[in-house]
Amino acid sequence: MEIKTLNFDSWEEVKANLSLLSGAEESNFKHLNTIEKTFSKQMNDSLQFISLKGNHSQIKILLGNDLFCYHTNSNLEHNIENWKLNKLIKTSHDVLCLIGFELLDIIQRQIGSLESFMNKFEAEILKNPKKSQQAEIIRLHRDTIRLKKQLNNYFPIFIRNKQKMPLWDELIINMQSNLDDSRNLVELMENMREAYQASMDNKANDIMKLLTILATIFLPINILTSFFGMNFERMPLIHNYYGMDILYLSLFIIVSVIFLVLKKKNWL
């Protein structure tokens, strides 16, 4: 089994190293090579072009029965050398399977990191919701959707190339498990958004409750002070020596009664 590094941007280099590709496939291959996403395309009976889009990288592969070619910028050389030393590679599909495990390992770490952060973030939201947290929620939602989309794109490619080997069975099981975890993560994200909205609503309700209580307490004070502030000659207590004291006492009694009523109804 032959493993090669190729500059897929150079058709001349690809054509010179691969007898499986004909000149008629040049335009098709160049078009596929420029697509920046995860997909697979059967070039002919013996050769398949695979693109695996990661978070900050893209792995481009030409996969044949006894041939494995990968793009020079795919950062696979070190891993492939280790797999060779450990005698893990016998066929070209073995390399693809091991790459699948590497991609899953990256995704598992990202899922674990997101879960840990989201648990702490959710507790912070419930304890002290802030408007600034909305931007972080949007970022987390975008990251969870991206992970789920990545796994959804990987899954059919590895299913299509699955071989009858225990290692492939393990890869597919782990990929399905990670896909379930990513779906749970999306659900958790949706629950967090709802929790944030509920916390913000509760915070707004608490503010409105406080303002309502203050308005209720000060309303009789405003009424009385407005009444005695009118410039009429005939006003109660206006010529009474103790008029101011009576007014203050009346206000104190009214406010105390309102306070006790609110306290009794557990509104304070």
The tens digit of pLDDT for each residue in 106-162 reads 999 999 998 888 888 888 888 888 888 888 888 888 889 999 999 999 999 999 999
Instruction: Collapse the DSSP code of 72 into the 3-class scheme (helix H, G, I; strand E, B; otherwise coil) and give the result.
Output: coil
Burial of 16 (C-beta count, 10 Å sphere; 0-12/13-18/19+): exposed
C-alpha 46: how far from chain center:
39
Amino acid symbol at 60: K
Residues paired with 52 in a beta bridge: 59
pLDDT on residue 171 = 94
Question: How many whole angstroms separate alpha carbon 87 and alpha carbon 81?
Answer: 10
204 token code pair: 């707004």
- Between 98-107, 172-181, 233-242, the lowest mean confidence (pLDDT) is in 233-242
pLDDT on residue 118 = 87
Q: Is residue 166 scored above 80 in pLDDT?
A: yes
Q: Is residue 87 scored above 80 in pLDDT?
A: yes
Q: Is residue 1 scored above 80 in pLDDT?
A: no
Per-residue pLDDT averaged across 163-178, rounded? Answer: 93
Question: How many whole angstroms separate alpha carbon 68 and alpha carbon 48?
Answer: 10
With the CA atoms of 236, 242, 244 and 246 taken in that order, what torsion angle do they form, in degrees rounded to the nearest 10?
Answer: -80
The pLDDT tens digits for 16-40 are 888 777 766 777 777 888 888 899 9
Of the chain, the end-to-end C-alpha distance in Å amounts to 78
Sheet holding 39-42, edge to edge: 2-6, 67-71, 58-64, 47-53, 39-42
Mean pLDDT (the chain) is: 86
Q: Is residue 56 scored above 90 in pLDDT?
A: no
pLDDT band at 101 (very low <50, low <70, confident <90, very high): very high
Residues paired with 59 in a beta bridge: 52
Q: What's the pTM?
A: 0.74
Give 69's contacts (C-beta < 8 A, 6+ positions apart).
Answer: 3, 4, 5, 6, 17, 18, 61, 62, 63
Per-residue pLDDT averaged across 42-52, rounded? Answer: 87
Amino acid symbol at 240: N
pLDDT band at 180 (very low <50, low <70, confident <90, very high): very high
Give the chain's count of helices (H) and strands (E). Answer: 7, 5
The pLDDT tens digits for 236-267 are 877 777 888 888 888 888 888 888 888 887 77
pLDDT on residue 96 = 93
Burial of 54 (C-beta count, 10 Å sphere; 0-12/13-18/19+): middle
Kindly list the structural domains of the chain, giving each domain's residue range(s) and its CATH number in brackets, ordered by start: 2-75 (no CATH), 97-202 (1.20.58), 203-264 (1.20.58)
Q: Is residue 95 scored above 90 in pLDDT?
A: yes
- Phi-psi domain of 133 (left: phi exceeds 0; alpha: psi -120 through 50; beta: other): alpha
Residues paired with 68 in a beta bridge: 3, 63
Question: How many whole angstroms separate alpha carbon 170 and alpha carbon 94?
Answer: 13
Portion of the chain with pLDDT greater than 90, in percent: 23
